[in-house]
């Protein structure tokens, strides 16, 4: 029996959750039924009810097979709990959950960064000759997002942290010079680089051995409170475009955490789905697949629609939902901030997913025809793998089995990238990967569907530092592929706008029998290098920079060929 509560603002706006987990009209589900049992998980303390509207009560559900003889409900509950525990144990065995010591280390990194940023903003305020009282009261802060912000990071995950500063702290001078020099002086900081030419400019460095990505957003206020609410329009009013882009990840993360009814279940399911996507070769935005924010919203959608589902039911329903999703219909979370607002048509993406923090913004996507086909194929495989979760011989390992590239494809495009040093290789690989979408589209034009395996390999037979990708080509197509013409076209693309010393890029066609031994390794065991690209900091031609607001006050150096102007960032 459904129970509803009165909503004093939107009394006619009821968010109705589905009552059942199984579509009985579907032939493949004819051998399943639904049972319910007591709630077993804690409710998300950050959960915001849908405009204070109570939804129809739906008891916890999970998928069970029908037997020729009746089973006691307690037996079914025990079967479901044991299967869920086996999945939790698999995640632990895979190292997806960091240890207590690793968690404490990350918390210390964030706390130290907050202290550095606070000292930085007071230094900048002093350079601006602000009154002493205002300097004492001015603040800046650090907010985390990405996998760490969502609580689904692993033991080797990096930290995505956003630096939020007041209106007088510019990106060009204060962030990329003053704060950069302060970080360089810290003994905990190593391998620091500036990524100024990205859509979201940032600094990338290691802090106590943990990789940190630190973009910057400048708010139109004199002091940023530590507990700033980035979803409050007051704090995002009249900010520049670059700051808005930097804020989008934090805003989306915070809203997702507020909209999922059970945080612990959401995190567990997202960890599972991310592992599945990496093992099956459909994780990585730069390769045209799904990124972390895409998967987070898809999992949150399932959690919203099945708030009382067990861990088994949520994983199974994730695949069932998106195996048959009517793309390009957008995936939109139920959000009382935008009731009945609808959404603008999104014609640029094959798989549109709306950001939960804005009714007009969608997740950036590089999905092409080839990767769209691969993602949908893997959704369907996942659905077929999880329909019989409670059968006695069910094994979670089949769902997470690595994609067999060398068995699936007979021919591959080999993408070989090299540079004279490991540091230059990282810059070069990051830049080329940011242009991969154009290469995938070109291969689709001349060859048909291709499968851009995101796994990075190393050719150990070559002395120079290198990274190799092997992209599967659609079987059955003609072998007449002018790879030299494709290579020439792509070289023009990657050499246009690259700052620094370019490395080598070669394309070739190889047969499956010609793959190097490393290409047959399990992708799950591959220790991926997070590539980056930066403005190179050579010792030559550096220009000292003095404060625009405090004459003769030295703030740092910039390169002679570097662009210190960031109009969109207010610098």
Active site residues: 147, 158, 160, 213, 274, 283
Report d(CA 323, CA 503) in Å as an integer.
Answer: 41
What the block records as the tokens of 451 is 């499968």
Determine the Cα angle at 497 with ends 364 and 483, to 5°. 80
**Which distant-in-sequence residues (6+ apart) come within 8 Å of 241 by Cβ?**
568
- The number of C-alpha atoms within 13 Å of 343 and in the hemisphere containing its C-beta is 22
Report d(CA 538, CA 266) in Å as an integer.
Answer: 46
Cα of first residue to Cα of last residue in the chain, in angstroms, is 59
What the block records as the tokens of 456 is 């990075």
Report d(CA 378, CA 277) in Å as an integer.
Answer: 9
- The number of C-alpha atoms within 13 Å of 142 and in the hemisphere containing its C-beta is 22
Report d(CA 454, CA 469) in Å as an integer.
Answer: 7
Q: CA torsion, points 212, 213, 218, 221, in degrees to nearest 10?
A: -30
Helix axes 311-323, 73-93, angle to 10 degrees: 80
> CA separation (Å) from 229 to 187, 233, 356, 377?
32, 9, 15, 40
Question: For residues 26 and 318, is the Cβ–Cβ distance under 8 A?
Answer: no
CA 5, distance to chain mean position in Å, is: 36
> CA separation (Å) from 563 to 192, 424, 430, 571?
19, 20, 20, 11
Q: CA torsion, points 180, 184, 189, 194, in degrees to nearest 10?
A: 40
**Which distant-in-sequence residues (6+ apart) come within 8 Å of 202 by Cβ?**
195, 213, 214, 215, 216, 246
């Amino acid at each position: 029996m459904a129970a509803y509560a009165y909503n004093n603002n939107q009394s006619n706006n009821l968010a109705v959750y589905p009552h059942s987990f199984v579509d009985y009209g579907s032939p493949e589900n004819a051998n399943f039924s639904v049972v319910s049992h007591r709630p077993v998980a804690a409710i998300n303390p950050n959960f915001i009810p849908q405009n204070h509207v109570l939804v129809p009560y739906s008891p916890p559900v999970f998928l069970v097979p029908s037997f020729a003889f009746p089973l006691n409900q307690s037996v079914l509950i025990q079967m479901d709990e044991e299967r869920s525990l086996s999945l939790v144990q698999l995640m632990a065995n895979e190292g997806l959950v960091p240890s207590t010591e690793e968690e404490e280390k990350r918390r210390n990194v964030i706390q130290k960064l907050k202290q550095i940023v606070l000292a930085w903003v007071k230094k900048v305020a002093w350079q601006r000759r602000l009154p002493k009282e205002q300097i004492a009261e001015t603040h800046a802060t650090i907010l985390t997002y990405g996998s760490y912000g969502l609580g689904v990071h692993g033991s080797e995950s990096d930290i995505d942290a956003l630096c939020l500063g007041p209106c007088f702290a510019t990106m060009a001078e204060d962030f990329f010079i003053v704060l950069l020099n302060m970080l360089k002086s810290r003994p905990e900081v190593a391998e620091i680089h500036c990524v100024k030419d990205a859509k979201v400019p940032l600094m990338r460095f290691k802090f106590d051995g943990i990789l940190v990505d630190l973009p910057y957003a400048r708010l139109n206020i004199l002091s940023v409170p530590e507990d700033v609410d980035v979803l409050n329009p007051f704090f995002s009013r009249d900010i520049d475009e670059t700051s808005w882009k930097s804020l989008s990840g934090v805003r989306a993360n915070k809203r997702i955490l507020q909209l999922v009814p059970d945080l612990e279940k959401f995190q567990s399911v997202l960890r599972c789905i991310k592992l599945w996507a990496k093992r099956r070769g459909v994780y990585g935005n730069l390769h045209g697949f799904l990124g972390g924010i895409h998967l987070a919203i898809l999992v949150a959608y399932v959690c919203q629609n099945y708030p009382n589902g067990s861990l088994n039911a949520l994983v199974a329903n994730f695949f069932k939902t998106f195996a048959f999703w009517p793309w390009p219909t957008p995936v939109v979370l139920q959000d009382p901030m935008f009731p009945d607002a609808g959404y603008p048509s999104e014609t640029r993406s094959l798989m549109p997913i709306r950001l939960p923090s804005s009714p007009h913004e969608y997740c950036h996507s590089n999905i092409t025809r080839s990767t769209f086909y691969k993602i949908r194929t893997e959704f369907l495989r996942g659905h077929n793998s999880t329909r019989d979760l409670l059968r006695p011989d069910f094994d979670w390992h089949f769902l997470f089995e690595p994609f067999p590239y060398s068995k699936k494809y007979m021919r591959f495009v080999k993408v070989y990238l090299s540079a004279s040093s490991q540091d230059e290789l990282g810059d070069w690989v990051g830049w080329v990967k940011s242009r991969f979408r154009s290469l995938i589209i070109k291969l689709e034009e001349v060859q048909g569907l291709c499968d851009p395996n995101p796994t990075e390999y190393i050719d150990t037979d070559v002395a120079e530092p290198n990274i190799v990708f092997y992209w599967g080509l659609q079987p059955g197509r003609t072998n007449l592929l002018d790879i030299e013409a494709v290579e020439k076209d792509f070289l023009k693309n990657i050499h246009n706008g690259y700052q620094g010393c370019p490395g080598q890029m070669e394309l070739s066609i190889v047969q499956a029998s010609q793959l190097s031994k490393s290409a047959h390794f399990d992708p799950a065991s591959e220790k991926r290098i997070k590539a980056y690209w930066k403005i190179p900091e050579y010792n030559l031609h550096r220009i000292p920079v003095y404060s625009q607001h405090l004459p003769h006050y030295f703030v740092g150096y910039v390169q002679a060929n570097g662009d210190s102007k960031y109009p969109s960032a207010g610098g």
